Amino acid sequence: MIEVTANNPMSGRDIIGDVTEAVKKFIKDGWLDESNLTIEEKLDKTSMGKTDQFAFVYMYRLANNPNLQNRKRLRQAPVFLNDSEESGNVYLHRPPILVDLFYLVTAHAQFPSETAKLLGWLLLRLNEATHLIYRPRKFILPDGREIDSLGRDYDPNVSLDEENLVIEKVSLALVDDLTVGDAINLFSLHEAPYRPFLTYRARIAIDGPLIPAPSGTKVVMERAKQAPIEPSGTPTRANGRPVARPSSTSATSPGASRPNFRRDIDDYNDYNN
């Protein structure tokens, strides 16, 4: 029995704030015009001069990513300390929480035409954000030490080409998430004037705590197991899906017209037999 303590530090505790700051920084770094561009989060910003230009970045919604879901059972964390289970440096964790962050991006300038130009620039600039965050994934040991997946002290600037180095990737995509009515309600809620807007989605993985495991612990994925043969005689996997039987007609028999191709399922059966 492995005891899960709530006092262990959460490795992904800062990722939501990091993504928001990364969006703001990416916009700011791309602005090369001589005039100043201010990045603001408050939609109700009122202290704006006639010549001021603002880009608003407001995270308005978080949602579970329905496309990638994992079971909540413990599994071995992708942390390689001394690359040996016998060393006792084995940690378990639950699969990361996969979350979509939704951002409203809008702009302000002196004239509506200038605001439209600024929105066009924002659209082109954010279209270049293929990897908003691209760095080694950070893991925090129970003693509070921050490391990467290779067990080294965490450094976001190391080479990303090393084997077994787990990379944290956050992408940003333009989405059509808010209707005009939804946006009007959102601006009204913040007592802000309505402005044309863009909506973006960032996909992240939030890691929980690492849990020390007994030396030599092995984690067996349920889907890799083969369930007992049912009375019907059809073998099934642990998830209930039947295992296909090899074809009774051999491709190497006389008169066969097709080559002897192997399928993944043949390898699976060979492995389990």
- What's the pLDDT at 3? 52
The owner of tokens 């295992």 is 243
- What's the pLDDT at 110? 85
Go through 161-183 and write b for each residue having 16 or more CB atoms within 10 A of its CB, e for each that does not.
eeeebeebebebeeeebbeeeeb
- What's the pLDDT at 196? 92
Inform me whether the pLDDT recorded for 250 exceeds 70.
no
Q: Output the CA angle 101-148-12, nearest 5 degrees.
A: 30
pTM: 0.71
- What's the pLDDT at 221? 45
Asked if 239 and 223 count as a contact pair (C-beta separation under 8 A), the reply is yes
The span from the first CA to the last CA of the chain, in angstroms, equals 31
- What's the pLDDT at 211? 82
The residue among 3 and 104 whose pLDDT is bigger is: 104
Inform me whether the pLDDT recorded for 98 exceeds 50.
yes
* Residue 46: partners with Cβ closer than 8 Å, 6 or more residues away: none
Mean pLDDT of the chain: 78
The residue among 218 and 214 whose pLDDT is bigger is: 214
Tokens for 127?
Answer: 């279209």
